[in-house]
Amino acid sequence: MRERIAALLDADSFREVGKLAGRGTYDKAGNLLKFEPAAYVMGIGRIDGRPVAVGGEDYTIRAGTGFGSDRRKGGQGGFIEDLAYEYRIPLVNLVDGTGGTVSTARRKGYTVVPGYGQDGFERSVDLMEVVPVVSAVMGTTAGGPSARALLCHWSIMVRGTSQIFAAGPPVVERAFGQQITKEALGGAKVAADIAGTIDNVADSEQECLAQIRRFLSYLPTNVWELPPVAARDDPAERCEEELAAIVPRSARQPYDMRRLIELIADRGSVFEIQETFGRAVITQLARMNGHVVGIIGNNPRFGGIMDYKAARKQGHFVELCDMFNIPLIFFVDLPGFMVGAESEASAMLREGVRARFIGLQVSVPVFTVIVRKCYGMAGGGAIDRRGLNFKIAWPSAEWGSLPVEGGVKAAYKREIESAPDPQQRERELEEELRQLASPLRTAEAFAVEDLIDPRETRPYLCQFIEALQPRLKTQLGPKRKGGVRP
């Protein structure tokens, strides 16, 4: 674990705390016979020159389980979490432990009630309101450590060598008679790609530690500070010719939304979160003229339609950005919510409304760039109704309660059916409504604030993001939010 911490932190910056904690065995004369160190390594250091608290289990010592002291060094509450909270510095958890063990009863002489002892998850919850918390699953993780891996703002695991679950294969086999491997139960394919339990995946430990450093580079040290501003080496006035033709003329043809975002954001500044989960929506941290922004883009290569996974992903990302005073930019190409029996059985409506609820509680400025489609309740979730309600659109944009195709048949059913030529009448109504749906008509009514050349998107946004910085300084500190999520 010390090698991992050294690889994560700035060179020679680690100051370990609690090196002598452990369990010693002494003879009658008080001489030390043997010593078993505590299976947790922790202390402070620096990442990009900024202080951080860091700790993790040493799996080589009793599989990372606790050593039975009244106070933990870390792992579930403990000194390192208290330090991060009291000093208001980020916490990095390198999780590689299996939690509790039944052998505790033999050592103590009795079984304990869950949540016993001086330390618990209370401080883990407190930290989520004030400083960035990162968890990296570095090995096989179960029980309490697996819960702590989720009590964070961003998590990562290593494909092929990390697994996370509530209980491991032996417990599953005893409970259900099912034999299953660690990888099949809680490897990256399940935990990140399917369930979204863990946010990001790295192909190696080295890449994992590099991603941690990258993620923290976008966040402030705590909620009383603004995100750091990077060097402005990419001109704010840069206009990319490729944007003029990136959206196909056919509304059914997909295009590369990631490429679109890369052309607008500062070069090399995009960091994607949950890339393999909820793939109908793209969530990224990036910079615009050096300032950190959160970007949400609908992915037309997956239909752009918001399913329950995409809604859950969007809600979490919006909340993350709002907490750390990161303005949001929506690049919208959203036909609506996913429909159908399977979607309803997956609680699509609840997840979609929950994402809308979260969006309506944000305090950071929100920009809406309508690239192509923006329809229905889902489209409304990309609009800053509580704030300035600032919307700009490209000439390729279209919007409404429903797309004209299909919507005409529902709204004018009787008129179409009673016409001498129903198909002809349906086409006539569609053409009439298409003309009314022109983005120029909406811009004339100032129902969308600007209709812009796609190539001008970067300079347009950069100027407004620069202008909003004084606003961000007025809203530092923890975000208290009321109500109950749907």
- Domain extent listing, the chain: 2-216, 241-397+448-473
Q: What is the DSSP letter of 225?
A: S
Residues 6+ apart with CB under 8 A from 231: 290
Phi, psi dihedral angles at 440 (to 5 degrees)? -65, -40
The pLDDT value recorded for residue 103 is 58
Q: Is 270 strand, coil or helix?
A: coil
Angle between helices 404-411 and 422-436 (to 10 degrees): 120
Identical fold between 2-216 and 241-397+448-473: yes
Alpha helix positions (H), 191-307:
205-216, 257-264
DSSP H or E run through 287: strand 281-288
DSSP H or E run through 81: helix 79-87
The H helix count followed by the E strand count for the chain is: 20, 19
List the beta strands (DSSP E) in 289-365.
Answer: 291-298, 328-334
Alpha carbon 115 to chain centroid distance?
28
Q: pTM, whole model, 2 decimals? A: 0.90
Q: Which fold has domain 241-397+448-473?
A: 2-enoyl-CoA Hydratase; Chain A, domain 1 (3.90.226)
296: β partners? 283, 330
List the beta strands (DSSP E) in 204-259.
Answer: none
Residues 6+ apart with CB under 8 A from 126: 85
Run means of pLDDT, 10 residues per run, the chain, 486 residues: 95 94 87 85 97 89 59 80 97 84 61 62 92 96 87 97 93 92 96 97 98 98 98 96 96 95 98 97 98 98 93 97 98 94 94 94 96 92 91 93 67 82 81 77 91 98 97 94 88
Phi, psi dihedral angles at 135 (to 5 degrees)? -125, 130
- For the stretch 116-151, what's the b/e string if a residue is b when 16 or more beta carbons lie within 10 angstroms of its beta carbon? eeebbeebbeebeebbbbbbbbbbbbbbbbbbbbeb
Give the C-alpha separation, 199 to 189, whole Å. Answer: 12
Tokens of 329: 């930019």
Q: Does domain 2-216 have CATH number 3.90.226.10?
A: yes
The pLDDT value recorded for residue 108 is 63
Q: Which of 314, 438, 429 minimizes the C-alpha distance to 381?
A: 314
Q: Which of 130, 141, 302 minimizes the C-alpha distance to 219?
A: 130
DSSP H or E run through 95: strand 91-95
141: β partners? 164
